[in-house]
Amino acid sequence: AQTVTQSQPEMSVQEAETVTLSCTYDTSENNYYLFWYKQPPSRQMILVIRQEAYKQQNATENRFSVNFQKAAKSFSLKISDSQLGDTAMYFCAFMKLFQGAQKLVFGQGTRLTINP
């Protein structure tokens, strides 16, 4: 079974700083997807960024980028020029394609606080 581990339960940085959230996963699959989701307090979970395992190039989305190390099974999220609105729970997630199902397996989450 796939597992996803986020080793940082909480992080706190000052506004405009850069922060990196860690994620490791365990799988024997070769083709899969990895995601970072953001869940602001009492609000909807939204997709931040996606990475296909067959792509060597790291995904980027404006201030958000990932460092995908397939051999090390590591998938960290870097947030540049952090903003107050980035305060949220961040979940790393693994998706395996299996017989039509697209089940997401989530990590434990990292609570990120951006301080003014």
Partner 1 sequence: EADIYQTPRYLVIGTGKKITLECSQTMGHDKMYWYQQDPGMELHLIHYSYGVNSTEKGDLSSESTVSRIRTEHFPLTLESARPSHTSQYLCASSESPGGYTFGSGTRLTVV
Site residues for partner 1 per CB under 8 A: 33, 35, 37, 39, 43-47, 50, 89, 91, 95, 97, 100-109, 111
Give me the least distance between CB of 78 and partner 1, in Å please. 19
Give me the least distance between CB of 107 and partner 1, in Å please. 8
Give me the least distance between CB of 10 and partner 1, in Å please. 11
Which residues make Cβ contacts (< 8 Å) with residue 65, sequence separation at least 6? 49, 58, 59, 77, 78, 80
Residue whose CB is less far from partner 1, 26 or 81: 26
